[in-house]
Amino acid sequence: MNKIIFFITLLLFFSQNKLQSQGLNDVCTVNGLTVWAAGNGGLVMKSSEGGNYWSRVILGSGSYNSIAMKSINIWIAGDSGVLYRSSNNGTTFTLIPLPVTSNINSVIFLNANFGWLAGDNGVILVTTNSGLNWSAQTTNTNRNLNQIKFTDLSKGVACGNSGTVLYTLNGGTDWISSNTPLNKDLLSVDFSGSTIMACGKESAFIKSSDFGLNWSVINFNIESNSDINSVSMQNESSFFTTGGGGFIRASSDGGQTFSFKLNPVLAATGKIFFSGIKAWCVCNSANIILRSSDNGNHWSAQAGVTQSFSWELKIPLNYYTSSGNVFAVNPHNSKEIFVTNSVSVYRSLNTGNSWNQISTIPYFPLNSVSNGLLVSPKDTNIFLVAADSSFTETGKVFRSTNYGQNWSAVFSGRRNSDGCPLEMDPNHPDTVYYAPSDSFLYRSTNFGLNWSQVGTKRFDDICIVEVLENNSNIILVGDASTHGTLFRSTDFGITWTNVNDTLSYEIPDIANSKLNPSYVFCAFYEGVGGLKRSTDYGINWVNVNINYRAWAVDIARDDPNTFAYGTWFDNPIYLTNDGGVTFTATPVIPGGTFALYYYDRTTLLAQMSEGFYKMKINYSVPIGINQLNSEVPDDYLLSQNYPNPFNPVTKIEFEIPQYAGIDPLNVRLIVSDALGREVSVLFNQILNAGKYEVEFSGNNLPSGIYFYTLNTGKISISKRMILLK
C-alpha cells in the first residue's frame, strides 16, 4: 500500500472567485470540538474549538464529497475513486486503493471498523477493517448514488439519481430497490425507525413511514423549485433541510408545517451535521461553515467572514420603457425567467445570468411602456404583456399563444405609466386581473382571452394588484388619488375596505409570501412613506423601515425571512435576512427601482429605470494560517509585514517556540486600527511550535495606520503597518 503522509498546512485568505468556485460538501465531528469539513479543489478544513476558527489541511487537489469520523479515525471520499484515511486524528493521511474508479459521493462508518461507500454507477462498497480493504455489494442499478446511511450493522438506505432509493435489512448483502413516486435526482437521505426521508433536485422531497414500501410526496411550496440539498432527521417526526439560496428549514410534525431558521449567509447550504445540541452546516458556493449551539435554531458563520454586494447590468434600457413588475418564471423549468421591455420579450435559461430576445410585440401604443408580464403555468406557450399608455393613448393587454411569435390585443383601457396593474391569481392560474386608470377592476378566468368587470367600485389609479397566496378571495390594491390608499377585499373584489389610508403619494408595490401567506409587505412612496408589513393577511400594518422613497419590494421564494426593498431616485436597494430586524444597503444603481424579483436568497433581479440588473454576492473567508516549515524556533518572533505599505494584501510571519509543559499554545493574532479598535481576528486557535505566515487583506478597510498583535497568554507583541489605497 502506497502510504502518503501529509503535514497540516494552513492558509488564510483566498480570492472570492476561487472561493466561490470551490465550496464545501460535507462536515462532521465526534466530540463537538474537533470538526472537519471537506469540499472541492482539494479543500479540507479543521477546527479544534467547535468551528469558529479553521485551518486548512492540504490533501491533493481533487473534489471531496463526503467525510466521516469515529474516535481518532477520519475518512474522506471524493471523485475518481479517491479515499483518504487517517488513524491519528488527521496528523497524517493514507490514500486507500479502491476496487472502483467511480466518483465516491458518500462515506459512513458505524464504528472504527465497519463502513460503507456509495458512488456513481450504482457503486456501494463495504469494509470490516477500518477501510483498509473494500468489497463491492450488489445493487442492481447503474444510477449514481449520492448518499448512504446506516444506523446499525443491518439497516441502511441509499439514494440517487432518477428517484432511486435502495434499502437493506442485512447490512447490504441484499439491496432492495424501492418504488418511489418521483423521477428527480435525490441528493440526500436519512431515516429514523421505520421512517425514511429523501430530498433532491427541484424541491423533490419524499417520505416513507414503512421503510420504503410506500411513499408520499411532501410539498415544499417553493415557487422557484429550489434544490433541497440535505435532510437530517432527529426522530421520525423532526428533521432539518437545507438548500436553495441558503435556507435552513425545520419541521417537528413530519413535514406538515415548517419553520425557517435565521442564517446570516446568502449562499447555498448543503450537508448538515448534529452532535447533541450543536450543529454545523456547509455552504456549497463558499467556504463557509455555519454553526449552531442551540439545536439548529440560530446560526452564525465562522470568525472573519465578510460580505459585500455588487450589481451586474444584464439588459440596458432606454429610460422609462419598462415599468411595473415585468418578471415571470417558467414553473416547469425554474431556471427559465422572462422579462419585457417596451416591445421586446427576453428570456434567460440560467436564472438571469444571460439573456436573449425571443419576441417583439407589434402595435404597442404610442409612447407606451411595458408594465406587466405573465406566463401561464398550465401552458407556458401563453404569455400576457400589459402596455401602459400616455394620457392621450390607450393602454392594452397583449396575448400570445405560441411563445411570443404572434400577439393579439385582448384588452384596451387608459393606463397611467406607473405601477403593476396585471396580476395572476397564484391559486387559480387561469384567473388574472387588470386595473385600468379611473375605472373598475377587471378579471379574466381564461388567462386573458375574455374580461369582465369586478364589482362596482371605481378606482382612481390602481398602482398594484395582489391576490394573496392560498386565499383567492383576498385581494389588495394600492390606489393613488390625492394620496396612496390601500384597499382590501375578502369576497373576490366585490366589496372593499380601506385598511391603510396614509399621507404617502402612492402605493407602488405589494409582496406576499407563498411560504407564509399571512405575511404581506407594502411599499408606500413619498410623504410618510416606507416599507410596511402585515402578518394577518393585510388587515393590520406596522412600519418595518421608514424610507419615504420606498418603491419596490419582494420576498425570497425560498425563505420568508429574506426580503428586499428598492427605492427611487439614486437610492440603494436594501436587503434583510433576519425578517427585517437589520437591513444592508447595496451599492446604488443610477435611476429608480421599478421592481424586484427575489428568485431565491442568492438571486435577486432588479428592474431599474435604465436597465435590468442581477445582484452579485462576494464573500471573503479566512481559513487559517500557513506553516512555513517544521523547525522549532528558539523564541517568539513577530516579523514586520511585507509589503509595507500595502494595498490591499500583506503577509505577516511569526514564530512560536516550544517550552515544556505549555505546548501547544492558544495563539491569537488580531489587527486593530489607530484608535485601538479591533478590526479583524486573523487567528485564535491552538498551535504547535513552529514558523507561520498569515495573509491579511484590507480590502474592506480605509487607508490608514493599523497594528497587528500576537498574543499567546505568555507574550504580547505588536507592530505597525500602513494600508495605502
CA-based torsion, 160, 165, 168, 173: positive or negative: negative
Residues 67, 82 within the same domain: yes
**What is the pairing mode between strands 432-434 and 690-697?**
unpaired
The yes-or-no verdict on residue 675 having pLDDT over 70 is yes
Residue 439, number of CB atoms within 10 A of its CB: 17
Give the residue-averaged pLDDT of 284-289. 92
- List beta partners, residue 606: 596, 613
Residue of higher predicted confidence among 697 and 668: 668
pLDDT at 18: 33
DSSP conformation letters of 527-580: TT-EEEEESSTTSS-EEEE--TTEEEEEE-TT-TT-EEEEESSS--EEEESSTT
Average pLDDT over residues 305-311: 90
Range of weakest confidence among 68-82, 605-619, 664-678, 690-704: 690-704
Same domain assignment for residues 17 and 117: yes
Asked if residue 606 belongs to a domain, the reply is: no
pLDDT tens figures, 386-441? 988 655 567 789 999 999 999 999 998 877 656 788 999 999 999 999 998 888 99
Residues 281, 360, single domain; the answer is no
The x, y and z cell numbers of residue 557, run together, are: 421564494
pLDDT score recorded for residue 202: 93
Does residue 273 sit in the same domain as residue 125?
yes
Q: In what order do the strands lie in the sheet with 530-534?
A: 506-513, 516-525, 530-534, 542-545
State percent of the chain over pLDDT 90: 66
In a domain, 507, yes or no: no
**Torsion angle in degrees (nearest 10) through CA of 426, 428, 431, 435:** -30
Least confident of 200-204, 315-319, 375-379: 315-319
> Residues 627-644: what's their mean pLDDT?
86
Mind giving me the DSSP string for 185-241? PEEEEEEETTEEEEEEGGG-EEEESSTTSS-EEPP---TT---EEEEEESSSS-EEE
pLDDT tens profile 257-285:
999 999 999 999 999 999 999 999 999 98
d(CA 321, CA 339): 12
Three-class SS of 1-48 = CCCCCCCCCCCCECCHHHHHHHCEEEEEECCCCCEEEEECCCEEEEEC
CATH number of 115's domain: 2.130.10.10
* Cβ count near 155 (within 10 Å): 17
Q: How many domains does the chain have?
A: 4
End of a domain among 238, 256, 288? Answer: 238
Q: Tell me which H or E stretch contains 670.
A: strand 665-673
pLDDT of 448 over the 80 cut: yes
Q: What is the chain's Cα-based Rg?
A: 28
Residue count (the chain): 725
* Mean pLDDT to the nearest integer, 191-219: 97
User: pLDDT per residue over 30-63, tens digit each?
Assistant: 999 999 999 998 888 888 889 988 877 768 788 9
The whole-number pLDDT of residue 417 equals: 58
Residue, of 16 and 467, whose pLDDT is higher? 467
Could you tell me if residue 630 is inside a domain?
yes
| 309 alpha-carbon distance from chain centroid | 15
Segment 145-169, tens digit of pLDDT: 999 999 999 999 999 999 999 999 9
Residue that finishes a domain, picked among 220, 238, 256: 238
**Percent of residues, the chain, with pLDDT higher than 70:** 92
Over residues 496-509, the mean pLDDT reads 82
Cell numbers at residue 48, please?
Answer: 479544534
Q: How confident is the model at residue 20 (pLDDT cuts 50, 70, 90)?
A: very low
Question: Which pLDDT belongs to residue 545?
Answer: 80
* 80, 204: one domain: no
> Are 638 and 662 a contacting pair, CB within 8 Å?
no
Residue 296 clears pLDDT 90, i.e. is over it: yes
Any domain includes 217: yes
pLDDT for position 627: 67
Joined grid coordinates for residue 661: 509543559
**Confidence check: pLDDT of 311 > 50:** yes
- Please give the grid coordinates belonging to residue 84: 483518504
pLDDT above 90 (res 630): no
Highest-pLDDT range among 202-216, 363-377, 498-512: 202-216
Confidence of residue 526 (pLDDT cuts 50, 70, 90): confident
Let me know whether 292 and 345 are in one domain: no
Q: Is residue 491 part of a domain?
A: no
Of 394, 417, 440, which residue constitutes the final position of a domain? 417
Is the pLDDT at 12 greater than 50, yes or no?
Answer: no
As to burial, measured by CB atoms within 10 angstroms (0-12 exposed, 13-18 middle, 19+ buried), residue 174 is middle
Q: Quick one: pLDDT at residue 529?
A: 73
Tell me: do 3 and 124 sit in the same domain: yes
pLDDT at 624: 61
Tell me the average pLDDT across 533-537.
95
Confirm whether 42 is domain-assigned.
Answer: yes
Long-range contacts of 678-684 (CB under 8 A, 24+ apart): 679/706, 680/304, 681/53, 681/303, 681/304, 682/12, 682/304, 682/622, 682/625, 682/652, 682/708, 683/12, 683/53, 683/624, 683/625, 684/52, 684/53, 684/303
For residue 541, the cross-strand partners are none
**Tens digit of each residue's pLDDT (9 = 90 or more) over 334-349:** 899 999 988 899 999 9
pLDDT of the residue at 361 = 87
**Do 611 and 316 meet the contact criterion of CB atoms below 8 Å apart?**
yes
Average pLDDT score over residue span 589-603: 91
Residues 465, 467, 468, 471, CA torsion sign: positive
Q: What is the value of pTM for the model shown?
A: 0.85
Q: Is the pLDDT assigned to residue 530 strictly greater than 70?
A: yes
Per-residue pLDDT at 503 exceeds 70? no
Strand stretches in 48-144, DSSP E? 55-58, 64-70, 73-78, 82-86, 94-95, 104-109, 115-119, 124-127, 135-136
Task: Choose the weakest-confidence range: 1-10, 372-381, 562-571.
Answer: 1-10
**In terms of residue numbers, what domain contains 192?**
137-238
Closest CA to 123 of 164, 67, 181: 164
Q: Tell which residue, 22, 55, 46, 36, has the closest CA to residue 286.
A: 22
For residue 368, tell me if it sits in a domain: yes
Q: What is the distance between the alpha carbons of residues 653 and 335, in angstroms, rounded to a whole number?
A: 47
Decide if pLDDT at 11 tops 70.
no
Residue 127 · residue 137 · CB < 8 Å: no
Q: For residue 180, is it within any domain?
A: yes
pLDDT of residue 21: 47
Q: What mean pLDDT is reported for the chain? A: 89
Q: Locate cell 477520519: which residue? A: 74
Close Cβ partners of 316 (under 8 Å, ≥ 6 residues apart): 610, 611
What is the secondary structure of 424-489 as a DSSP string?
E-TTSTT-EEE--EEEEEEEESSTTSS-EEEEEEEEEEEEEEEEETTEEEEEEEEEESSSEEEEEE
Tell me: do 188 and 209 sit in the same domain.
yes
The predicted structure's pLDDT at residue 240: 98
Same domain, residue pair 341 and 217:
no
Angle at alpha carbon of residue 195, lines to 191 and 201, rounded to 5°: 65
CATH number assigned to the domain comprising residue 383: 2.120.10.30
- Asked if residue 2 and residue 149 are part of one domain, the reply reads no
- In CATH, what number is assigned to the domain containing residue 663? 2.60.40.1930
Between β-strands 370-375 and 322-325, what pairing exists: parallel, antiparallel or unpaired? parallel
Residue of 600, 599, 601, 604 whose CA lies nearest to 573 = 604
- Hey, how many other C-beta atoms are within 10 angstroms of the C-beta on 345? 24
Q: What distance in Å separates the CA atoms of residue 280 and residue 30, rounded to the nearest whole number?
A: 12
pLDDT recorded at residue 685: 74
CA 492, CA 428: separation in Å to the nearest integer? 12
Assess whether 286 and 348 both reside in one domain.
Answer: no
**pLDDT above 50 for 16:** no
**Domain check: are 10 and 104 in the same one?**
yes
How many C-beta neighbours within 10 Å does residue 6 have? 18
